[in-house]
Amino acid sequence: MRPDSATPEPGEPTAPEPGGMPHDRLHIAMFTDFPPGSLGGISTAVDDQRRALERLGHRVTVFAPAPTDPEAAVPTWLVAVPAPRALSVNGFPFVVPTRGVLAAVESELIRRAPIDVVHVHTTYGVAILGAKVARRHRIPLVQTMHSRDDVFVERTSPAPWASAVGMRILHRCLVSPRLLTHGGGVARVAESRTARQVWHMMLAQARTADVVIAPTQHFADRLRRHGLSGDIRVVSGGVDDDLLATLPQRSAHSHDDPLRLLWCGRISAEKRPMVAVEAVASTPGCTLDILGSGDQEHHIRTLVDEFGLRQRIRLLGSTDRAGVLAAMADADALLFTSAGFDTQGLVLLEAAAAGLPVIYCDPDLDETVPTGGGLRAADPSADSVAAVIAAVLAYPARLAAARDALSDKAVPQSRMTRQTIGIYRELVGTERLRRGSMPVRPEDVPSAPGRVPGLGHSVVALRQGLHFIVGLGRIGPVVRVDLGTRPAYLVTTPELIRQIGFRTAGEFHRADLQEAMHEAIREASNVLSGRRHEMRRRQMAPALRARRLARYAVTTAAIADDWSRGLPHERPVDLRTEAHGLILQTVTSTLFRADFGADALDRVRETVPWLLGEVIIRGALPAPVRRMRMRANRRFARDSAMLREAIGAVVRRYRSQGVDHGDVLSVLVGHTDEDTGIGLSDDEIIDELLLMVAAGVGSTASILAWVWYEVARNPHVSSLVAQEVERVVGEGPVHPDHLEQLTYLRRVVAETLRMWGPWISSQTADGPVTLGDDETGRLTLPDGSTVIYSPYLVLHDPRFYTDPETFDPDRWQPDRAEDLDRKADLAFGVGERHCPGNTFAISTILLCSAALYSRWTVRPAGRRRVRPSTTDFVAAPSQVRVRLEPRR
């Protein structure tokens, strides 16, 4: 009976729907190191799976080296991954997964998006690329382990040990540790040292995946024995449904004819074709046709000639699968001499489908050869195989019984592919669940735990601080947090945060914050929205361009060096207080530097700390309560007015002079917008100068204090920092030219920003805003809703940063950092409100830190616990008490 294998099962998409494809069809990206159409089980399996998936209504894109025939057209389902011409391994092109190749693969992946699942079939260059793009784009990853690479290397490589070590090292260098999600080495198993090396590589690749598929149970067991934990499923290969539908009729066999044996496959050592030749040579009464090609072909041909076996043994070369099935229809038995290598053997499945009995010798293959459909030799030697052939010649009824046992034993590919689709769907479902399903209405949004009637979540937030925030991502993509009685919607995924940052969710305003600070700062960029915000950002940009920053850095380095020189070593120092004083000094010194501005600058430094504290308190209080704080309000109004007046006078002098003092104010005064020809008014300039102090000082100082705290409490980091600063800065003074070379310190700063990044950003919906997309579902929040997000939450989410509570600067090493999800890098915000002062802040922190470490060895002092205080949008350490020892 021919199986009607392509009949869909319930829940499976059928044919394309009129005018389009079924809405639940999947798009699978398959990655393989073998070009399509090349000889061998993996390439055949990938091709069969692709066609079965397409037949079931799904879409497949295959990433593989270009077909070996340069004339062959590249089909639309294929992305040809570039491989160096000169490099080939065992006759196959070898793809080196360099950054350039990765970028090319990635851009094609994005062009063909959305991709639901990445399915990798090999363990070399293309496979590594598959694992990388899956992880970077958070696409579920399936890895099929098809082959015994260990045996392959042992039997085919001229220098097995060296090849195995080379492969392991290469794989290790190319797959970053972040991809090795399950960890672990290789368990002790009795095997050669070469095999062990190769297993390291095989398991490293398998461990990148969410689910590993093995074609047989015995291979799945072997993977486990070697130490692979995690989710391993067994899904057998199959035979293409179209081929099954057109199987050739079996030819009749007369008793007088010799026994016709067939051997198919790669004529290469790991398949042991010599055993077949030897067994046939020693057993009269049978012939052998060999289909295939490979590096042992010539050797076998010579042997056949030498022993005068041409009449009995024919080498017929390679053919396509239809040719193989036709040959099977003409043969009496398949001779399958591979032992300890094949994990399944696709040719065994084809033989079963063709009703061809098998003579084999590997007990592991009992799982693949249908019961009764084969005769197994006592051991893999040629003598034992010959003994089975002799037995068949003596008792032909055995073959007839085997043929009967094979009737209806075909394994259609589509049946197996349905099992694989089940796995894909599970993973897609899990990934969606991980991202959380979107509530449909605002009232369905789950609430954060710990809400107290009338006080909302304020109590639990105050009590638990940042711990409260970190857990909320697990609740869902949007979580309700009540600020007192006012509900706010906390968005927890980078994708949704981007919809806010890029305003694709809708418009937002910050009228509340504007009102809370309007006496001091009226209309600065952080409270403007829409087109006015865009234009202000354009007008401000020249003040923070690289050329200007280089000039500010000279000022900063000089101030930092002076400060470091003046630090005391006789008594403990609180580096948190020091950081705030130093950053206030450095940031304000870049604002205006003309002599006549000195008094105004002093006023800024005196007044701003208190005013900023007030802005935060006023922003957190409801307007009626805010108005009741009469004394504080009066002082706020008075100090703000004096400050604005003092800065206003400086602005007017700058305008009248028209001189560039190398500071921010010179740029702002001289600026006119290219598009509109409009410059900034005095009031607008005052607003922006004060915003730079408000937005820049507290956050930069807090991150700087955390850098010093983290370095002081991590001796390993501390010694690496000290070595680098010694090498780059020496005795000092620190200079902006050093910035480029402070690579390790830069990673320390990046990790501190991840560890202690801003914990809150808040805005108000200006009209209805809609979060989500087709995949997650959509949630519309009404006009006036408070929408918040927390960079800190995402920066501590293990989905984006492995082991997030560990301070690990090396996660920013280029090879590891490239696997991080860029969308989750939120320390400086995202989209239109992305921090314009980021480069300035990082250079300032680097220069100040280099100035400190070039003069001092910093040792923690006292055991007082350091707590993060969340009164500003970047948490500040409560104190960083240290003792300083002069370095020289």
| Closest CB to ligand HEM among residues 646, 787 | 787
To the nearest whole angstrom, how small is the minimum distance from the Cβ of residue 873 to ligand HEM? 7
| Closest CB to ligand HEM among residues 539, 700 | 700
E-state strands within 369-433: 374-376
Q: 636-670 b/e with 16+ CB inside 10 Å = b?
A: beebbeebbebbeebbebbeeeeeebebbbbbbbe
Among 477, 733, 772, 837, binds ligand HEM (CB under 6 A): 837
Residue found under tokens 């005068």:
308
SS3 391: helix
| Closest CB to ligand HEM among residues 796, 833 | 833
For the chain, report the end-to-end CA distance as a whole number of angstroms: 89
DSSP type of residue 15: S
| Closest CB to ligand HEM among residues 45, 643 | 643
Residues 6+ apart with CB under 8 A from 417: 49, 52, 53, 56, 238
Residues facing 280 on adjacent strands: none
Residues 6+ apart with CB under 8 A from 566: none
| Residue 526 binds to ligand HEM (criterion: CB under 6 A) | yes
**Rounded distance between C-alpha atoms, residue 444 and residue 439, angstroms:** 5
Among 334, 608, 692, 851, binds ligand HEM (CB under 6 A): 692
To the nearest whole angstrom, how small is the minimum distance from the Cβ of residue 500 to ligand HEM? 9
For residues 6 and 55, the answer to whether their CB atoms sit within 8 Å is yes
564, two tokens: 């470091």
CA nearest 857: which of 703, 704, 733, 725?
725
| Closest CB to ligand HEM among residues 268, 526 | 526
Residues facing 211 on adjacent strands: 142
| Residue 520 binds to ligand HEM (criterion: CB under 6 A) | no
To the nearest whole angstrom, how small is the minimum distance from the Cβ of residue 528 to ligand HEM? 8
Among 93, 238, 758, 804, binds ligand HEM (CB under 6 A): 758
Q: Under rule CB under 6 A, which residues in 357-416 are in contact with ligand HEM?
A: none
**HSE on the CB side for 414, CA within 13 Å?**
22
E-state strands within 377-523: 478-483, 486-491, 508-509
| Closest CB to ligand HEM among residues 102, 583 | 583
To the nearest whole angstrom, how small is the minimum distance from the Cβ of residue 752 to ligand HEM? 9
To the nearest whole angstrom, how small is the minimum distance from the Cβ of residue 435 to ligand HEM? 22
| Closest CB to ligand HEM among residues 415, 537 | 537
| Closest CB to ligand HEM among residues 369, 491 | 491
Residues 6+ apart with CB under 8 A from 731: 854, 888
**Rounded distance between C-alpha atoms, residue 565 and residue 712, angstroms:** 19
| Residue 846 binds to ligand HEM (criterion: CB under 6 A) | no
Binding range to ligand HEM, per CB under 6 A, among 32-40, 476-484, 486-494, 836-844: 836-844
SS3 677: coil
To the nearest whole angstrom, how small is the minimum distance from the Cβ of residue 717 to ligand HEM? 19
| Closest CB to ligand HEM among residues 175, 874 | 874
Say if residue 389 is exposed, middle or buried (CB neighbours under 10 Å; 0-12, 13-18, 19+): buried
Q: Under rule CB under 6 A, which residues in 82-101 are in contact with ligand HEM?
A: none
Residue type, 209: A
| Residue 508 binds to ligand HEM (criterion: CB under 6 A) | no
**Rounded distance between C-alpha atoms, residue 419 and residue 421, angstroms:** 5
To the nearest whole angstrom, how small is the minimum distance from the Cβ of residue 838 to ligand HEM? 6
To the nearest whole angstrom, how small is the minimum distance from the Cβ of residue 494 to ligand HEM? 14
CA nearest 6: which of 415, 424, 421?
415
| Residue 537 binds to ligand HEM (criterion: CB under 6 A) | yes
| Residue 703 binds to ligand HEM (criterion: CB under 6 A) | yes
Check the CA dihedral 395-401-402-403 and report its sign: positive
H or E, element range at 65:
strand 59-65
Distances from the Cα of 414 to the Cα of 39, 142, 225, 298, angstroms: 22, 18, 30, 38
Residue type, 372: G
| Residue 525 binds to ligand HEM (criterion: CB under 6 A) | yes
To the nearest whole angstrom, how small is the minimum distance from the Cβ of residue 876 to ligand HEM? 12
From residue 632 to residue 671, the character string flagging contacts with ligand HEM as x (rule: CB under 6 A) and all else as - is ----------------------------------------
Closest residue to ligand HEM in the complex (CB): 837
| Residue 786 binds to ligand HEM (criterion: CB under 6 A) | no
To the nearest whole angstrom, how small is the minimum distance from the Cβ of residue 508 to ligand HEM? 10
Among 836, 843, 858, 884, binds ligand HEM (CB under 6 A): 836
Among 699, 718, 790, 843, binds ligand HEM (CB under 6 A): 699
Main-chain phi, psi angles of 693, to 5 degrees: -70, -45
Q: Under rule CB under 6 A, which residues in 851-880 are in contact with ligand HEM?
A: 874
Residues facing 542 on adjacent strands: none
Report the relative pairing of strands 786-789 and 761-765 from DSSP bridges: antiparallel
**Rounded distance between C-alpha atoms, residue 226 and residue 235, angstroms:** 20
| Residue 579 binds to ligand HEM (criterion: CB under 6 A) | no
Site size toward ligand HEM (CB under 6 A) is 23
To the nearest whole angstrom, how small is the minimum distance from the Cβ of residue 850 to ligand HEM? 16
Among 761, 764, 790, 843, binds ligand HEM (CB under 6 A): 761
Among 40, 374, 412, 696, binds ligand HEM (CB under 6 A): 696
| Residue 733 binds to ligand HEM (criterion: CB under 6 A) | no
To the nearest whole angstrom, how small is the minimum distance from the Cβ of residue 807 to ligand HEM? 17
Among 691, 779, 793, 847, binds ligand HEM (CB under 6 A): 691
From residue 814 to residue 833, the character string flagging contacts with ligand HEM as x (rule: CB under 6 A) and all else as - is -------------xxx---x
To the nearest whole angstrom, how small is the minimum distance from the Cβ of residue 604 to ligand HEM? 14
Binding range to ligand HEM, per CB under 6 A, among 277-285, 455-463, 636-644, 690-698: 690-698
To the nearest whole angstrom, how small is the minimum distance from the Cβ of residue 497 to ligand HEM? 9
Residue found under tokens 């639309």:
76
Say if residue 864 is exposed, middle or buried (CB neighbours under 10 Å; 0-12, 13-18, 19+): exposed
CA nearest 721: which of 857, 842, 838?
857
Among 800, 840, 853, 856, binds ligand HEM (CB under 6 A): 840
To the nearest whole angstrom, how small is the minimum distance from the Cβ of residue 811 to ligand HEM? 18
| Residue 585 binds to ligand HEM (criterion: CB under 6 A) | no
Binding range to ligand HEM, per CB under 6 A, among 89-97, 313-321, 696-704, 860-868: 696-704
SS3 763: strand
DSSP string, 193-215: HHHHHHHHHHHHHHTT-SEEEES
Q: Under rule CB under 6 A, which residues in 116-135 are in contact with ligand HEM?
A: none
**Rounded distance between C-alpha atoms, residue 649 and residue 597, angstroms:** 9
Residue found under tokens 């009248």:
656
To the nearest whole angstrom, how small is the minimum distance from the Cβ of residue 501 to ligand HEM? 7
User: Which residues of this protein are in contact with ligand HEM, per CB under 6 A?
Assistant: 525-526, 537, 691-692, 695-696, 699-700, 703, 758, 761, 791, 827-829, 833, 835-837, 840-841, 874
